[in-house]
Amino acid sequence: MKKVGVAILGLGVVGSGTYQILTEHREFYQKTQDVDIVVESVLELNRERALALGVPEDKIASNIAEIVSNPDVNIVVEVIGGISAAREFVLAALNAGKTVVTSNKELFCKYSHELERAAKRQNAGLYFEASCVGGVPIIRTLLDGVQGNKISSMMGIINGTTNYILTKMTNEGSSYEDCLKEAQRLGYAEADPTADVEGFDAAYKLSILSSLAFHTKVPFSKIYREGITNISKDDIADGKSLGYVLKLLAIGKQSEAGIEVRVHPTFVRQGHPLAAVNDSFNAVYLTGDAVGDVMLYGRGAGALPTGSAIVSDIIYAATHSENKYSTFKNTAGADKDTKFISDFKSAYYLRIMVEDRAGILAKIAAIFGRNNVSIVEMIQKPIGVDGRVPLVLITHETRELAVRNAVAKINALEGVGHVETVLRVIS
């Protein structure tokens, strides 16, 4: 039976989960996969944490040199996060000919071209299933499940923190601030939640996934990004009354015109499969030319779900002798022939505060008409405490720049307070 030695860099939440799965399931993998996977070393500065997890003291390394020089280590698992040290350690492992498995979405998003170049030089494997959507096997699906298809679209709820916050706001009518505090208390959100709530985390993942799905490099810099920090409970309530649920969506589309990639809060029509994905769960909805629609759903974070994805990569690497690399030219930037669409099409939700007097609505409608924006639904809310009236509108599908131009003109109208909210809508 083939023996494969593994080293784990970092025993935080994900590293500890990975160690637990590998040690508890060792005999199971021997029986089912015909491979003996042994944790030969861990790099953890907090020795007490490692010992408490059951790691033998002689297997606790104090630096990366001990890991990469260990002949018994075949696969190095990087779960320390961040960029600087992780990049240094992963490159050291690859340059030593070790296969690397990483869960680091920011590292892989920004430096996959550099890591892959090092892996190719040494004929080492580079695996990253756990970098996107936790325990949901989206990367393996793209690489080995739907590779016979041309993928035209991909929509996903790929950040558990924001989905938990928006679900709680929807179900309880609570404010963003209160729901964020609750998410932090439960450990769903970091003390500094910026990466999650401002959409950076989802954009890193979308960069990775869209590059795989569309077979061309989609850099992070090409992704339009909005977070959820300005979402009000009034917007969520109004959307709910119109039959929509608010989600932070990562959207990638490919057509003859080019590629569009965006992360932003989106109203999703109730009845769409993504509308039912709640709390910290994640899902990705794919459309291929042959297979049609496919949705993958599961836990997007956590010790064991993410550890499951890491172990899946370890087993795959241990049981496959050929290393696969990108199906596209993996460079720091986009290929010069790849076109990106910024003026994308969508339906829109707008919340506009206006004075309660004759003629205002006609002026707003005229501005929309001149910008080729047509209205599907409109609700005029009761007069507010400041004497202004909230108008809630849903538009037909139109162009992003058309809506932006219309909003600028409406904001310049006398008697209109301002356009408070603009959100995209998917039916």
Catalytic positions, written as ranges = 205
CA dihedral 406, 407, 413, 416 (to 10 degrees): 140
- Beta partners for residue 258, in sequence order: 255
What SS3 string covers 172-225? HCCCHHHHHHHHHHHCCCCCCCHHHHCCHHHHHHHHHHHHHHHCCCCCHHHCEE
Q: How far apart are CA 252 and CA 261, in angstroms?
A: 4
Give the number of other Cβ atoms within 10 Å of residue 203's Cβ: 27
Phi and psi, residue 207, nearest 5°: -60, -45
How many residues appear in the chain?
427
> Measuring CA to CA, which residue among 58, 107, 59 is closest to residue 80?
107
Give the number of other Cβ atoms within 10 Å of residue 279's Cβ: 14
CA dihedral 350, 155, 221, 10 (to 10 degrees): 120
Measure Cα distances from 139 to 123, 130, 195, 326, 355 in Å: 21, 9, 22, 12, 51
Q: How far apart are CA 357 and CA 416, in angstroms?
A: 10
> Measuring CA to CA, which residue among 350, 363, 353 is closest to residue 396?
350
Q: How far apart are CA 285 and CA 251, in angstroms?
A: 10
Token digits of residue 418: 């301002």
Q: Which residues contact 125 (CB under 8 A, 6 or more apart)?
A: 75, 99, 100, 119, 317, 323
Q: How far apart are CA 54 and CA 387, in angstroms?
A: 66
β-strand pairing of 224-225 with 281-288 = unpaired
Instruction: Give how far the C-alpha of residue 151 lies from the chain's centroid of Cα atoms, to the nearest Å.
Output: 18
DSSP, collapsed to helix, strand or coil, labels residue 310 as helix
- Residues 67 and 7 sit within 8 Å (Cβ to Cβ): yes
Instruction: Give how far the C-alpha of residue 191 lies from the chain's centroid of Cα atoms, to the nearest Å.
Output: 19
- Give the DSSP letter of residue 328: S
